[in-house]
Chain A
């Protein structure tokens, strides 16, 4: 079975640009969460979606947005990119609440 897949794997952008990151959950998983991991820190929660509805939002500015599609895949959008947005962005999926979340390998975003 395919795990959580994320695209692209690497991305280089400049300040002020916009970026869209994509995630396909494990088949049958209806919940998708997004995390940001900066160097030397643990992943930090950004969003959680379940059945296409936002179920949770972390302490991130409104420049960050996300959505989930009918096939349960998800997009994370970041507008007006700042240097501090450089990080590994991780997507995780799970079947229901309190089931372990399974992570993709992430998208490495570099802002120049």
Chain B
């Protein structure tokens, strides 16, 4: 039972354009949502997070949007750079103070020069 879903296994964009990565969740009992980036042979690196009481959080080129009614969040990267090419994971923290992260399957982003 996949509670956090990333339905696009891959995405390809041109350098300088916007990358939009999507994530859907089925459980309303999540407190926080996070995005991680993973390069091959490295562990996931934290990018940005958003509380369930917010609808937008921005950090430099990265913006996360949360639509609670649609149970959907998205990560926008503007402008995209070749170094952004990696697998991006959406993750959620359930309510209750646990630090358990529930991950999606990931989306492989390729930014072409």
B-contact 0/1 string along A81-110, CB 8 Å cutoff: 000000000101010011011111110000
B-contact 0/1 string along A33-75, CB 8 Å cutoff: 1010000111111001010000110100000000000000000
A21 adjacent to chain B (CB < 8 Å): no
* Complex contact A42–B89 (CB within 8 A): yes
Count of residues in A whose CB is under 8 Å from the partner chain = 27
Chain B residues in 8 Å Cβ range of A103:
36, 43-45
* Complex contact B43–A90 (CB within 8 A): yes
Count of residues in B whose CB is under 8 Å from the partner chain = 26
Find residues 25-55 in chain B having any chain A CB closer than 8 Å to their own CB.
31-32, 34, 36, 41-46, 49
Residues of chain A having any CB pair with chain B under 8 Å? 4, 31, 33, 35, 40-45, 48, 50, 55-56, 58, 90, 92, 94, 97-98, 100-106
Chain B residues in 8 Å Cβ range of A102:
46
Across the interface, A105 reaches (CB within 8 A) one of B34, B41, B106, namely B41
Chain A residues in 8 Å Cβ range of B97:
97
With A56-B98, A98-B31 as contacts: A40 and B43 at CB distance below 8 Å: no
